[in-house]
């Protein structure tokens, strides 16, 4: 069994953003030399997400509005977590969008449907955050 | 290390439906010959889900109503994604229900609790959609 | 390839609770002797969750209030599932929080970001429930 590990560092200029990290993950699969296996991609911070969906700007606007409706950022004092922090909403938004994805590796490539793309979802940005890529297989 | 891959094709006659795919996944585990490992089951389309819950029709009605409340299908023009499409709600519903499950394989079987069953959740049906089953182990 | 399996039994005195199970999972990784691999931790019951977030009591209060808003326990008769049961809300809450996490194992340890902790989320407690830990790797 082979294994491969890499961290990505992501720093978004805004509090919230979606970043397509598929090319970086594909590069890791190539570097790993693994032909058949599983690829885990997860946020290492608890106010961000890794998820799979469509690379379509309209949909990303819909995600932003929808998440603000389900878990609004303000008023900050609606959340018990926001004593010294202001990011309780980011913990809730990340829960909806998910911490991680597991993707099959087949024949040395991410085994994807036509429109699947891997996104990093930032909900409390403006600072360095980390994503972990771990691949195991043969 | 062994690996196994199979695609299921699912075509539901309605826009939304829940389909129990546990027997198909169990068959794959048997075919794979893998005794100890991990089994990934994921939707290859971004408007459908794979999730684990109870095979109980009342609960499935509750899921349908609840998802419609959290991410209503109509009016279509409430979503920026719905320029040429009408399925933005399906992307959001799938986000709540999840893209994938990872199930342990132990002693050649899906290592399940008493009531765990694997479902395909369709949110934009009436056409062929795909589910990927990937198993690795020994 | 090595594999390791263990079940935890969790019994909370209240209907809903969050329990930090990180030390138990870390113990399993040590016992497994696996240095590089993947660790699956999943609820074996369909009214509970395993998720990763912050070990901060204020945030857990926020989760409790937020989940009650998104999927209220009462009135029980709002749910079709609640014929002989009263736990439909627990199935929905668990869907938001997630069934499972997959964590990388690197150099014999859970490969975590600074604040990542693994929680068991109980939404229909007062009885024995089970969590599965399955680790594969080398």
Please give the pLDDT value at position B123: 98
Tell me whether residues B38 and A37 touch, CB distance under 8 A.
no
- pLDDT for C99: 98
Counted domains in chain C: 1
The ipTM assigned to this model is 0.98
Q: Is B49 within the bounds of a domain? A: yes
Q: Where are the alpha helices (DSSP H) in chain C?
A: 22-32, 57-70, 88-97
CA angle, B30 then B32 then B35, to 5° = 75
> What pLDDT, on a 0 to 100 scale, did the predictor assign at position C83?
92
Segment B44-96, tens digit of pLDDT = 999 999 999 999 999 999 999 999 999 999 999 999 999 999 999 999 999 99
Q: Do B137 and C42 touch (CB under 8 A)?
A: no
Indicate which CATH number applies to the domain containing A115.
2.60.120.460
Q: Which residue of B has its CA nearest to C1?
A: B1
Below-70 pLDDT ranges, chain A: none
Rounded to 5 degrees, φ, ψ at C79 are -115, 135
CB neighbours of residue B13 within 10 Å: 7
Q: Can you give the pLDDT at residue B138?
A: 97
The CA R_g of chain B, rounded to the nearest whole Å, is 16
Is A22 domain-assigned? yes
pLDDT at A47: 98
Identify residues of B whose CB sits under 8 angstroms from chain C CBs.
1, 36-38, 51-54, 56-59, 61-63, 66, 70, 96-98, 101-104, 106, 111-116, 136-138
Percentage of residues in chain B having pLDDT higher than 90: 99
Read off the pLDDT of each residue in C54-74 and give the average, rounded to a whole number.
98
What pLDDT is recorded for position B133? 98
Give the closest residue to A123 by CA, choosing from A82, A95, A100, A81: A95
Domain assignment present for residue A16? The answer is: yes
pLDDT bracket for residue C78 (50, 70, 90): very high
Q: Can you give the pLDDT at residue C12?
A: 98
Phi–psi pair at A29, nearest 5 degrees: -60, -45
Q: What is the mean pLDDT of residues C94-109?
A: 98
Q: Decide if B104 is inside a domain.
A: yes
Where residue B119 falls among pLDDT bands split at 50, 70, 90? Answer: very high
Q: Which residues of A touch C58 (CB under 8 A)?
A: 79-83, 88
With 0-12 / 13-18 / 19 or more C-beta atoms within 10 angstroms meaning exposed / middle / buried, residue B46 is buried
Residue at C107 is within a domain: yes
DSSP A84: T
**Interface mutation vs chain A, best among C58, C95, C109, most A CBs within 10 Å:** C58
Q: Judge whether C2 lies within some domain.
A: no
Shortest Cα distance, chain B CAs vs residue C4, angstroms: 9
Helix-, strand-, coil-residue percentages of chain C, each rounded to 5: 30, 35, 35
Range of the domain at C87: 11-137
pLDDT recorded at residue A110: 98
Residue C35 lies in a domain: yes
3-state secondary structure of C53: strand
Average pLDDT, chain C: 98
CB C24 within 8 A of CB C50: no
Taking residues C15-25, report their average pLDDT. Answer: 98
Q: What is the pLDDT, as a whole number, of residue B115? A: 97
CA B100 to chain centre: 7
Indicate yes or no: CB of A134 within 8 angstroms of CB of C111: yes
Calpha distance A123→A87 (Å, rounded): 8
Residue C5 lies in a domain: no
* pTM recorded for the entire structure: 0.99
What pLDDT does B83 receive? 92
> Is the CB of residue A117 less than 8 Å from the CB of residue A54?
yes
Burial class (CB in 10 A: 0-12, 13-18, 19+), A98: buried
């Amino acid at each position: 069994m082979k294994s491969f590990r890499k961290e990505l560092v992501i720093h978004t200029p805004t509090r919230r953003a979606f970043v397509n990290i598929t090319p970086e993950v594909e590069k890791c699969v190539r570097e790993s030399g693994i032909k058949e296996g599983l690829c885990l991609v997860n946020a290492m911070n608890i106010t961000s997400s890794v998820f799979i969906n469509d690379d379509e700007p309209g949909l990303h606007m819909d995600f932003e509005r929808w998440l603000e409706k389900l878990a609004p950022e303000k008023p900050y004092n609606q959340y018990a977590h926001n004593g010294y922090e202001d990011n309780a909403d980011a913990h809730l938004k990340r829960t909806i969008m998910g911490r991680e994805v597991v993707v099959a590796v087949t024949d040395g490539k991410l085994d994807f449907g036509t429109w699947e793309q891997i996104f990093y979802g930032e909900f409390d940005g403006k600072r360095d955050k980390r994503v972990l890529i771990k691949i195991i297989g043969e």
